[in-house]
Amino acid sequence: MSVSVNGIAHIQLSVNDIERCLPFWEKLCHFLGMKTLIKSENTVYCIGSRTGVLVRESTPEHRSTRFDQDRPGLHHFCFRARSADDVDAIHRFAVDELDAHIVHPPEVGDFAPGYYSVLFEDPDGLRVEANFVPGKGHFGKQGNLPGADT
């Protein structure tokens, strides 16, 4: 027996720089069509577009540790955009409103035909991607995921 899930209910992120990260994530989520459901001095939880993002302050013993995408755990996560224009708009918002560190501006990648994405970081260095893939919206049989066995 198997179960077909209905997406990801939420992603929970732990951050160190709470004064910069909470406003960053709340603004980004609002720009992406989400609304704030819960907000306190150390937590923000936004939902919408079949997505939930919960951001809370890390525990005191881990506050000196910076995010490292090459350690076990989260590498990055990616919002699926509805168009290449939406990817461009997210990029402009990340630069103009969030002052995000841009890892790469919108570009065509070789992961799948037409793969178009932007990659940026929150104030703690957590990486966020927004992409658009024409057609079914995924790599498909023509996809190219470096390092994956084919």
Q: What is the pLDDT of residue 150?
A: 45
Q: Would you say 24 and 123 are in contact if contact means Cβ atoms under 8 Å apart?
A: yes
Among 89, 82, 142, smallest CA distance to 118 is for 89
Q: What is the reported pTM?
A: 0.84
Question: How far apart (Å, rounded) are the C-alpha atoms in residues 19 and 125?
Answer: 14
CATH 3.10.180.10 residue ranges in the chain?
7-57, 76-140
CB atoms within 10 A of CB 13: 20
pLDDT by position in tens, the chain (length 150): 887 777 788 999 999 999 999 999 999 999 999 999 999 999 999 999 889 999 999 888 877 777 777 777 788 889 999 999 999 999 999 999 999 999 999 999 887 788 899 999 999 999 999 999 887 655 555 555 455 454
What pLDDT, on a 0 to 100 scale, did the predictor assign at position 141?
Answer: 55
What does the pLDDT read at residue 111? 76
Q: Which CATH class is domain 7-57?
A: alpha beta
Separation of CA 115 from chain center: 16
The CATH code that applies to domain 76-140 is: 3.10.180.10
Check residue 147 and give its pLDDT: 53
From residue 57, give the alpha-carbon distance in Å to each of 7, 44, 127.
25, 10, 17
